[in-house]
């Protein structure tokens, strides 16, 4: 494999020499990326290459994908890296320390199983996990370090912290409603981020989110209950992601919002999670752990 490339913020490529890599030594973590030929995959590759202590060593796509065999760096626009896209995750993980996975729960769990078998770490931004699937992830995390977060954005995770503080202050006197907007290709609804926001508020208020979440209101559905947390979903165009939590009281309203302008923030968060995982014990972590917010 050739020397890894780093792309700085102005887009110019800087190349590390073999001596640089030897001097850095074990500071380098080798990363494999699932879905490397997609839009998110390209952002992740770029973010890895911008980092001074991560190196792309593997890249995969689903079997039959037309880009199997292509150079992952060329597809991502960072130049040739000598890392070919494969449809074999086990092979791609042989030289990797950590896997970055932004797929779907069913795929993520299979990837976790492979990582657990190989003793490799995994960072996943997949959303839409059922309670049963979360339990499966917890079982794999007993063998390897796992970061599982519905949103890798630093800003969104700051919002989680703010929501907890707001719910603590406002208590049961304010109704809570959540509205989320995403692009028309998003498959899960509501978003994992919106669900996590609801869970944070519900936990803080001593409620069971699964019992109080109100996903649908139509017709003569009756007055709103005090405990319920409304969840409204909007899909359209190319919206990257927007979330607003409303705390609505008598004569006043508080809104905590986050708007994603691009997918870059998710990729940067995933890179930060990889760096944080180095030397961590087996366990299930999230971005609140990564950012020191727990």
Catalytic residue numbers read 182, 186
Using DSSP bridges, classify how beta strands 121-124 and 145-148 pair: parallel, antiparallel or unpaired: parallel
CB atoms within 10 A of CB 85: 23
Contact by Cβ (8 Å): 76, 50: no
Q: Which of 138, 150, 103 is nearest to 284 (CA)?
A: 138
What is the C-alpha to C-alpha distance for residues 253 and 188, in angstroms, rounded to an integer? Answer: 29
Chain-centroid distance of CA 88 in Å reads: 22
Chain-centroid distance of CA 287 in Å reads: 9
Chain-centroid distance of CA 260 in Å reads: 13
Which phi and psi angles does 98 have, rounded to 5°?
-145, 145
CB atoms within 10 A of CB 2: 11
Please state whether the peptide bond connecting residue 14 to the residue before it is cis, i.e. omega within 30 degrees of 0.
no
Which phi and psi angles does 84 have, rounded to 5°?
-85, 140
Q: Which of 96, 109, 119, 118 is nearest to 139 (CA)?
A: 109
Chain-centroid distance of CA 154 in Å reads: 11
Helix (H, G, I), strand (E, B) or coil at 122: strand
């Amino acid at each position: 494999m050739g020397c890894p490339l780093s792309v700085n913020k102005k887009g110019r490529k800087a190349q590390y020499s073999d001596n640089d890599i030897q001097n850095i030594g074990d500071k380098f973590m080798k990363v494999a990326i699932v879905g490397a030929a997609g839009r998110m995959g390209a952002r992740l590759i770029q973010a890895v290459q911008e980092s001074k202590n991560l190196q792309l060593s593997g890249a995969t796509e689903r079997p039959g994908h037309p880009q199997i065999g292509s150079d992952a760096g060329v597809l991502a626009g960072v130049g040739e890296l000598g890392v070919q896209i494969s449809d074999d995750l086990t092979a791609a993980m042989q030289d990797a320390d950590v896997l970055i996975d932004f797929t779907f729960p069913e795929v993520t769990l299979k990837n976790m199983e492979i990582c657990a078998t190989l003793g490799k770490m995994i960072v996943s931004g997949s959303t839409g996990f059922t309670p049963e699937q979360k339990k499966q992830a917890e079982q794999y995390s007993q063998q390897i370090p796992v970061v599982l977060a519905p949103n890798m954005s630093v800003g969104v995770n700051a919002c989680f912290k703010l929501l907890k503080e707001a719910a603590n202050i406002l208590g049961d006197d304010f109704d809570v409603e959540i509205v989320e907007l995403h692009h028309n290709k998003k498959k899960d609804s509501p978003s994992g981020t919106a669900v996590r926001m609801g869970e944070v508020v519900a936990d803080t208020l001593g409620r069971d989110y699964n019992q109080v979440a109100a996903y649908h209101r139509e017709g003569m559905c009756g007055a709103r209950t005090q405990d319920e947390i409304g969840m409204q979903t909007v899909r359209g165009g190319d919206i990257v992601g927007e979330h607003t939590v409303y705390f609505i009281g008598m004569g006043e309203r508080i809104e905590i919002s986050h708007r994603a302008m691009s997918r870059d923030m998710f990729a940067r968060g995933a890179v930060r999670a990889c760096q944080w995982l180095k030397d961590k014990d087996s366990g299930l972590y999230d971005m609140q752990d990564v950012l020191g917010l727990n």
